[in-house]
Structure 1
């Protein structure tokens, strides 16, 4: 990590909850894999919805891997693959993707008719939401203000900038995560947070392969979490995330949370640690409401799901399966793409 001109000073009374959250939330993940009923005794984690420690383990990311990227890989060109990832992630909603596949067909560079897709989405929007509310998707940009709907503006941007102006081709030729991020950051509608998230989603594909620890961007939620956990975060919020990564084991021992059980062969990356600052911010809204930073309440409550997930990971990660995680016969075993 580069030397920071400003000091990095953790607030120990608060930062300890970051490591508590990581350990307990990951324990919940393993308990669910093992078919256990009582996932946690923590009343906050029982009541409210928190994402996984590993972004890739969340339901939408797993769907992306299963059904958009790693099914029929040989069927799509690299450019087709990135287009499919992008369209899926713009809506970030499984039901919307499945609706398009059923009514429009496969989305590829050669089969991407903005008017037809937009018309289908307008029809669906009459009775169901088409965007996931996890991301704030603005639909205002002077270049596309002549279009009537938000989804047509987004799809037209994809057609004009990613396909006709060659952003997809440039992404495939990029030499780093940061270069991809900067390419996306220059596109209409894409602020820093979405550009970083889409960069990571592209990096899940077989055609982009950069270390997640080489680049990170702090989102708004992570910034709030860092402001709570640090007295001074260095020259940038990203400095605090890198500090946490560099001193992860040391800080676990310092705060007494040494029973964290990571994915075998894949320790949390800068991306995951960034995400956990956002989730810790949410946790602290209830645990330490006196920390008046940002929102005061958590919007989403936890709703148990009976859906079973066969967890898969990009083969390039080389995640190791070291034991049988799913002890109950009605629970699917953890599945690894080698």
Structure 2
């Protein structure tokens, strides 16, 4: 049995206090501010408002967030309506690539819904297998290559050697297997293997631990997050992105505003919106950035209409931005502000990817069929908002042993999925209880050395 261890100032100083504008658009709504949300008020000529008892002082990027969100969605609508380029008078949006205001409208999300989730067997374990497999690489070309050379892609017929052979040949030919949008660190189940093989092993581990049942039976999304992030190489951003992709399927049926984790880009975007006051909030309040994202989602109608903007809406039900969309757009704001507000410093100062649309968008985007599930109607936000990360460790092998000053034997344990730098000395008593086979194997090999 393997052992498990858990171890600056702002301009436009009066605009926030002005009354919301009324739009003549049929999509417009009357501003609705929940009773427990503080309306903006002035502080010594600087506009500010309070979230979780912390006074936030917005920078110029605060208004830019709402303008960007509205205009980026308008670009998508104009493209789908068949209007000619450039679709916007914003020169930054004309020149550079930005993700959609609604994450579900992005090319990858649309592909996951139509080609990964809704094609193929709808058995929960097969849907989970396909979503996790796609998420390992997050690259359409890699998925289609596997589909063509191995397909149909099914857990029932999965073979690591077959999949890895296809990936190895492609890599040897110079093909990029992974997305370039963000890093995909591989676990270290076998340090002698390539990253893609270790990712396939991670897929097998998640499937063997019945990821589909965990998703279906969880009462809170936070519970699923804590379970997923416990596995090797699963960081906060990678785990949250996988959960969002799973939420497009029937496996993860939760309200759209139940859960959010700010990624590095979103955190940087919030920093540009609120400057030092955000840092103060992070020091004083656990999970403060999550609370700010929720505050932005709850108050979006007011702040769009205050600027004379029609709030972006999605689909026939005219859905507003949810917390995932707010997080998504904050990341894009971080990029946009590099040029629009270069005085707001961040980790990067340039935008690398230009905007070169290669095809006409369909007139209507596809929304997940799973979004109609009745379990998504009522929010289920976990009362305990703390996220507890307990990484799971299973013994890979024992490398050596020693005897301490009291005569107790200890073993130097290498953990499956982790580099040797994470190896630890473990008491013999613990390993005898949890992984006696590892000790037997160690001494059998030791005797032959």
Instruction: Give the shorter-chain TM-score range.
Output: 0.7 to 0.9
Paired residue secondary structure (1:290): coil
Question: Contact (CA 8 Å) 1:19, 1:257: kept in 2 or not?
Answer: no
Q: Does 2:180 correspond to 1:133?
A: yes
Question: Contact (CA 8 Å) 2:266, 2:334: kept in 1 or not?
Answer: yes
Map of 1:323 onto structure 2 = none
Distance 2:308 2:333 in 1: 15
Distance 1:78 1:102 in 2: 23
Cα–Cα, structure 1 residues 93 and 217, in superposed 2: closer, same or farther, change >3 Å? same
Q: Give me the TM-score of the superposition, normalised by structure 2.
A: 0.66
Name the structure with the higher strand share: 2
Distance 2:103 2:145 in 1: 25
Q: Deviations over 1:161-186 (max 9, x none)?
A: 21223333322321222111111111
Distance 1:120 1:219 in 2: 32
Paired residue secondary structure (1:213): coil
Map of 1:55 onto structure 2 = 103
Question: Contact (CA 8 Å) 1:60, 1:94: kept in 2 or not?
Answer: yes
Q: Does 2:281 correspond to 1:227?
A: no
The alpha-carbon deviation at position 28 of structure 1 amounts to 0.2
Map of 2:143 onto structure 1 = 97
Gaps of 5+ in 2: 1-35, 38-49, 373-449
- Which of 182, 207, 212 does residue 226 from structure 2 map onto? 182
Paired residue secondary structure (1:178): helix
Cα–Cα, structure 1 residues 8 and 166, in superposed 2: closer, same or farther, change >3 Å? farther
Question: Contact (CA 8 Å) 1:8, 1:240: kept in 2 or not?
Answer: no
Aligned CA-pair RMSD = 1.9
Distance 1:285 1:58 in 2: 22
Gaps of 5+ in 1: 319-338
Map of 1:149 onto structure 2 = 194
User: Radius of gyration: which is bigger?
Assistant: 2
Distance 2:222 2:51 in 1: 20
- Which of 7, 10, 19 does residue 54 from structure 2 map onto? 7
Cα–Cα, structure 1 residues 5 and 213, in superposed 2: closer, same or farther, change >3 Å? closer
Distance 2:104 2:92 in 1: 23
The alpha-carbon deviation at position 4 of structure 1 amounts to 5.7
Map of 1:272 onto structure 2 = 325
Map of 2:424 onto structure 1 = none
Name the structure with the higher helix share: 1
Cα–Cα, structure 1 residues 13 and 91, in superposed 2: closer, same or farther, change >3 Å? same
Distance 2:342 2:131 in 1: 38
Cα–Cα, structure 1 residues 241 and 8, in superposed 2: closer, same or farther, change >3 Å? farther
Map 1:194-273 → 2, pairs under 5 A: 194-231=238-275, 232-233=277-278, 234=281, 235=285, 236-254=288-306, 256-263=307-314, 264-265=316-317, 266-273=319-326
Map of 2:397 onto structure 1 = none
Q: Give me the TM-score of the superposition, normalised by structure 1.
A: 0.87
- Which of 10, 29, 33 does residue 80 from structure 2 map onto? 33
- Which of 347, 351, 354 does residue 301 from structure 1 map onto? 354
Distance 1:12 1:129 in 2: 40
The alpha-carbon deviation at position 6 of structure 1 amounts to 4.8
Distance 2:191 2:95 in 1: 44
Q: How many residues align?
A: 312
The alpha-carbon deviation at position 219 of structure 1 amounts to 0.3
Q: Does 2:234 correspond to 1:193?
A: no
Distance 1:316 1:187 in 2: 26
Distance 1:20 1:257 in 2: 10
Question: Contact (CA 8 Å) 2:248, 2:370: kept in 1 or not?
Answer: no
Distance 1:85 1:61 in 2: 11
Q: Does 2:70 correspond to 1:23?
A: yes
The alpha-carbon deviation at position 194 of structure 1 amounts to 0.9
The alpha-carbon deviation at position 8 of structure 1 amounts to 4.4
The alpha-carbon deviation at position 10 of structure 1 amounts to 4.0
